Copies of this chain bind each other. A is one copy, B any other.
């Protein structure tokens, strides 16, 4: 008896839980469709809740802001990209090439859907530092960090380098170059640009020896 009651009470598939998941999914489904159809800026929360058949307040029970919903989509995409990186992009030998591969791979992902990337980067910038957590941006930084540490062990990266600083430098360059490229009027290959910059960082810009 007690056991049965406890089971029902604590169960993950209680009616409440089911409905929550259902509503959540409905919001994802509808908003995803509307964002694609008419762009993020032009999709209002009122439209989403109308199409999803829920009240406006309900939306904000699930997502504290419209942006938090956006960031969910961005995160999804990022996680997918990173899982692919780990499997595919690290087949070369030198650290320099590995890092290039990682960045070019991410770059190519972005090149595929420039407009979408623009929207996400924009939303990300708009809200950096305002409440939302930073795990996101550190995915790339972490990957770079371990690559550089490996490089130090393998002795194709100077042992005197602060791996953390170096990783920050490279992700700074990546992010900055991405933004420049996204809003540039002239068209050029982002992959080439980033690749050239990595070479500069690896070789250094100072004349002579240290």
Contact = CB atoms under 8 A, between A and B. Distances in A.
Interface of A: 96, 118, 122, 125-130, 134, 148, 155-159, 161-162, 165-166, 168-169, 171-173, 175-177, 179-180, 182-183, 193, 196-197, 200-210
A200 B129 contact: no
20 contacts: A96-B206, A122-B130, A125-B126, A126-B126, A128-B179, A156-B208, A157-B206, A162-B196, A165-B200, A166-B200, A166-B205, A168-B176, A169-B201, A172-B172, A172-B177, A173-B173, A201-B205, A202-B204, A202-B206, A204-B204
Given A125-B128, A172-B177, A183-B129, A161 B201 contact: no
A177 B168 contact: yes
A200 B127 CA distance: 30
Contacts of A165: 193, 196-197, 200
Given A169-B173, A200-B161, A148 B205 contact: yes
A158 B206 contact: yes
Given A171-B176, A200-B161, A207 B129 contact: no
A157 B206 CA distance: 5
A163 B169 CA distance: 18
A130 B123 CA distance: 11
Nearest to A128: B125
Contacts of A203: 158, 204, 206, 210
Contact of A207 (B126, B155, B175, B197): B155
Q: Which of A118, A157, A203 has the most CB of B within 10 A?
A: A203
A40 to B, nearest CB: 13
